[in-house]
A and B are shown apart, each in its own frame.
Chain A
Amino acid sequence: MKVIVPVKRVPDTAGEKKLDPNDRTVDRDGVESVLCPVNEFSIEEAVRLKEKHGAEVTVLLIGPDSAQPIVRKALSYGLDAAVQVTDDAISGSDALGTARVIAKALESMEWDLVVFGNQSADARTCLVPAAVGELLGVPSLTFARYLEVNGDEVVVHREHEEGWDVVSAQLPALVSVVEAINEPRYPSFKGIMAAKSKPLTVKSLADIGVDDGAVGLGAASATMYEFEPRPPKSAGTIVDDDGSGAAAAQLADWMAEKKFV
């Protein structure tokens, strides 16, 4: 079985995140980039498919040269190889543009199952896996809290507000996983050392058959044209409890005043 794990480089949540005022894309200067935290779960799930089914797992990242440490980081969990699609024309793509690049990259690779994270930690749209599924004409079993592969069938517990749907499809298929699915392991020292020499193939848009004009900021179907920082919140009322819980009365008064009771 061949598995592909698309991963994303995102600005560190703890860092100060900024947008470039000129093109309103994420300003990567001065903020540390990390492997998207949600990918720890998709990578762990792929590692389990390796352990259980001997799956061969390839990392896929769309991003510039400077994102290469993120590819190596993903490989350090014990994955086999990586493909990075790098092209200046990709910059500024929206979720659907990114999906077009990923879909074309996947068309240039061999796979049975693609394991996405359900949402990136920066944009958080959740749109990419289903959009890729539509572009490729394959099922997208998203928000998986449980994943099982039996022969050429994949079974997923697809999380929703009330619980989950048990769904199944024949491979090839795409899945996205939520954090409930597993407890990710850390990379081992051996994995970190081995990651440095795992094969990494770098491809351009031309290599995967994407026209420059079809992606990037200019081709985005949705455009952000204005942004402003969240207005600072006025200081709230903070009371010190005397150790008896009596401050709860003041809190209850406040809640009643705001009509929450």
Chain B
Amino acid sequence: MGEMLVLIDHNDGQPRKVSLQMLSAATKLAAEAGQTVSAVWLGEGGADAAAVLGEHGAAKLYHWDSPDAFAYVTLPQVDALEAALSASGADTLLFASSNHVKDVAARLAIRVDGGVITDVTDLAVGDGGRLHATKEVFGGDLITTSKVADGKVALFGVSPNAFPVEASGGSAPETVALDVTLSEAATAAKVTSVEKVGSADRPDIGEAAIVVAGGRGLGNEQGFELMEQLADVIGAGVGASRAATDAGWYPHRYQIGQTGRTVSPTLYLGAGISGAIQHRAGMQTAQHIIAVNKDAEAPIFQIADFGVVGDLYKVVPKLIEELQTRKG
């Protein structure tokens, strides 16, 4: 029986939410295609995570228990995945469609003559068990379906929150240690330190289920303290429009839009954001959209499921109170 591989993206020894979402989706797809799901864990900690991976559908776990995986840039992971493809005979791999992992997939595709489809929002089983991928392009204006050419290894970058997490109740997977020999090239680019600047208590906007974002209408950087208070009531990540990051009110790394991050949460709330096309390109795929803006003509109201036309400095503090009351 063929294997479908899922590369587990992890942080601090825990699989990221997107990894469990991928496993849940792969479990259904593999069953339909007559395959089984194998997780791939690169770096230390794979054996400790085996139980949770099994609960979400992994029948097998390939792991490379080595600090080398992240001690050098990208290439050790490519070497290890090449070993995983070879050990499993798999021709399909799902990976988290985030910056660093996309690099791994791009290099792997060149090395094994595969094809890559990034930012996938849905997958279906087609002829011969090959997967077909749905992807939104042009800032969400067009919805496309693609596949990797027959005979090539198919690599699918899955967007966060594209699939629900569903525990299959599976038992601990069979574990297989990968035998990885690093090439000389793999150690050419070193990681000398890792700087963590995000809030430990607040999810990253890339994978948060809820994202709140502030824009020009906030008027100053103190406005973001208000947005952070709102975020912390509902467990949201905090983003910003380019107008706000260019003004220096919030760090560039949280910019949502064409030249910044793309978010696909289940709920997006924009305050003081007009919704210019450059911003929409980074958030239009959110499942639900809330807008608070004093300008009733702001384009964001055209895509909002719920909009409040009003002063955000009146509406947001009140919203925080109301939400706290409802939480009890």
Chain A interface residues (CB < 8 Å from chain B): 13-14, 17, 19, 37-38, 41, 94-96, 99, 118, 121-131, 133-135, 137, 139-143, 145, 157-170, 173, 178-180, 183, 220-230, 233, 236-252, 254-256, 258, 260-261
In the assembled complex, which residues on chain B have CB atoms less than 8 Å from the CB atom of A228?
A: 142-143
- 29 A-B pairs within 8 Å (CB atoms) are namely A13-B278, A19-B142, A96-B110, A99-B106, A127-B102, A130-B106, A131-B106, A133-B107, A134-B78, A134-B111, A159-B99, A160-B99, A160-B100, A161-B206, A169-B190, A220-B115, A221-B148, A221-B149, A223-B149, A224-B146, A227-B143, A236-B303, A245-B310, A245-B315, A245-B317, A246-B318, A248-B319, A251-B319, A252-B319
Per DSSP, are chain A's interface residues mostly helix, strand or loop, or mixed?
A: mixed
B255 at the binding interface (Cβ < 8 Å): yes
Please tell me the size bucket of the interface on B. 35 or more
Are B197 and A163 in contact, CB atoms less than 8 angstroms apart? yes
The 8 closest A-B pairs by CB, nearest first: A241-B310, A221-B115, A245-B314, A180-B252, A245-B318, A252-B322, A248-B318, A139-B189
Residues of chain B from 244 to 270 with CB closer than 8 A to chain A in the complex: 246, 251-253, 255, 258-260, 262, 266-267
**A251-B306 in contact given A142-B103, A225-B146 (Cβ < 8 Å):** yes
B311 at the binding interface (Cβ < 8 Å): yes
Are A127 and B106 in contact, CB atoms less than 8 angstroms apart? yes
Q: How far is the CA of A158 from the CA of B193 in the complex (A)?
A: 11
Contacts beyond the supplied A160-B99, A221-B109: 10 A-B pairs with Cβ under 8 Å: A99-B110, A127-B102, A127-B105, A130-B103, A143-B99, A158-B100, A162-B204, A163-B198, A166-B192, A246-B318
Are A162 and B11 in contact, CB atoms less than 8 angstroms apart? yes
**A243-B103 in contact given A96-B109, A226-B145, A252-B319 (Cβ < 8 Å):** no
Q: How far is the CA of A125 from the CA of B139 in the complex (A)?
A: 12
B232 at the binding interface (Cβ < 8 Å): no
In the complex, per-residue mask of B222-251: 1 if CB is within 8 Å of any chain A CB, else 0: 000000000000100000000000100001
Contact of A121 among B105, B107, B109, B259 (CB under 8 A): B259
Q: Smallest CB–CB gap between A120 and chain B, Å?
A: 10
In the assembled complex, which residues on chain A have CB atoms less than 8 Å from the CB atom of B196?
A: 162-163
Contact of A169 among B73, B141, B149 (CB under 8 A): B73
**A159-B253 in contact given A168-B192, A238-B309 (Cβ < 8 Å):** yes
Are B195 and A157 in contact, CB atoms less than 8 angstroms apart? yes
Q: How far is the CA of A119 from the CA of B203 in the complex (A)?
A: 24
Contact of A248 among B110, B259, B262, B322 (CB under 8 A): B322
Q: How far is the CA of A122 from the CA of B207 in the complex (A)?
A: 22
Q: How far is the CA of A229 from the CA of B284 in the complex (A)?
A: 13
**A261-B326 in contact given A163-B196, A241-B314 (Cβ < 8 Å):** yes
In the complex, per-residue mask of B93-134: 1 if CB is within 8 Å of any chain A CB, else 0: 000001110111111011101111111000000000000000
Are B318 and A169 in contact, CB atoms less than 8 angstroms apart? no
Are A260 and B210 in contact, CB atoms less than 8 angstroms apart? yes
Contact of A229 among B119, B142, B185 (CB under 8 A): B142
B28 at the binding interface (Cβ < 8 Å): no
Are B318 and A236 in contact, CB atoms less than 8 angstroms apart? no
Are B107 and A162 in contact, CB atoms less than 8 angstroms apart? no
In the assembled complex, which residues on chain B have CB atoms less than 8 Å from the CB atom of A167?
A: 73, 189-192
Q: Smallest CB–CB gap between B115 and chain A, Å?
A: 3
Contact of A222 among B146, B234, B252 (CB under 8 A): B146
Chain B residue at minimum C-beta to C-beta distance from A40: B259
Q: Smallest CB–CB gap between A62 and chain B, Å?
A: 17
**A13-B185 in contact given A220-B149, A247-B315 (Cβ < 8 Å):** no
Q: How far is the CA of A126 from the CA of B74 in the complex (A)?
A: 14
In the assembled complex, which residues on chain A have CB atoms less than 8 Å from the CB atom of B145?
A: 224-227
Are A13 and B307 in contact, CB atoms less than 8 angstroms apart? no
Are B139 and A13 in contact, CB atoms less than 8 angstroms apart? yes
Are B189 and A173 in contact, CB atoms less than 8 angstroms apart? yes
**A13-B281 in contact given A165-B194, A166-B192, A223-B149 (Cβ < 8 Å):** yes
Q: Smallest CB–CB gap between B304 and chain A, Å?
A: 5
Q: How far is the CA of A246 from the CA of B303 in the complex (A)?
A: 23
